[in-house]
Amino acid sequence: MDDIFTAWRTWDEARADLEGREALDLPALERAVAAAREWHGEQRRPTGVPYVEHLLEALEVLVRGAGETGTEVLSAALLHDVVEDTGATVGDVEARFGPRVAELVDWVSKPPVAAGGRQAKRAAKAAYLRRLRDAPREAIVVKLADRVSNVQRLEQMPPDFQRRYYAETVTYILPLAEGHPWFAAWYEDWRRRYAHLR
């Protein structure tokens, strides 16, 4: 698997690469990056890296990998975790980025689980992942890019997490990729690379 998307660790690195691509609305993407930074603040990923790196990886997957150019899809990718992981609401996203971006972010945001422990959380997550089968194409590609960022270096995660996340990805995410040729090919290569986790 040669396609690993980690070149854009900062917005300056991303923008330098994006400037040569005429179909992209860079000012709109810059606004989305600024909002993501504002809402995520000092949050870090489980690996310890600044949260914005994950968002830029998802953007890189869509642009450099899947060839996406739509401003709303790319903005939603940059904002895809703000409702789930910050105090921002779907209404906040809509007020700043319009109803379509807000709709896409809403589709890919896991609903909160009030109580019930680990089993309840896993059941809610499975229901959310199943619901994505009914999502619009644009929301699905945002989710596919998000998961590429999450699984492209799966070996860096704890072993028990690796097996669980591999199984979840094969069960719920690979079927979503079937209608998207670039993602289908990427995930098939990924599945072969991590086949030892079956």
Residue numbers annotated as active site = 84-85
Per the CB < 8 A criterion, the answer to whether 176 and 84 are in contact is: no
7-56 pLDDT, tens digit per residue, is: 999 999 999 999 988 889 999 999 999 999 999 999 998 878 899 999 99
Question: How many other C-beta atoms are found inside a 10 Å radius of the C-beta of residue 101?
Answer: 26
Q: What is the mean pLDDT of residues 180-198?
A: 95
Please determine, for residue 1, whether its predicted confidence score (pLDDT) is greater than 60. Answer: no
Per the CB < 8 A criterion, the answer to whether 47 and 92 are in contact is: no
Whose structure tokens read 């670039």? 182
Q: pLDDT averaged over the chain?
A: 94
Q: Give all domains of the chain, ordered by start, each with its CATH number.
A: 11-197 (1.10.3210.10)
Q: Supply the pLDDT for residue 21.
A: 86
Tell me which of 75 and 126 has the higher pLDDT.
Answer: 75
pTM over 0.75: yes
Q: Supply the pLDDT for residue 22.
A: 83
According to the per-residue pLDDT averaged within each range, which of 120-134, 150-164, 169-183 is highest?
169-183
| Residue type, position 176, single letter | L
Q: What is the DSSP string of 127-173?
A: HHHHHGGGS-HHHHHHHHHHHHHHHTTGGGS-HHHHHHHHHHIIIII
Q: Supply the pLDDT for residue 46.
A: 80
Q: Supply the pLDDT for residue 116.
A: 74
Q: Residue 21: left (phi > 0), alpha (psi -120 to 50), or beta?
A: beta
Q: What is the mean pLDDT of residues 116-128?
A: 86
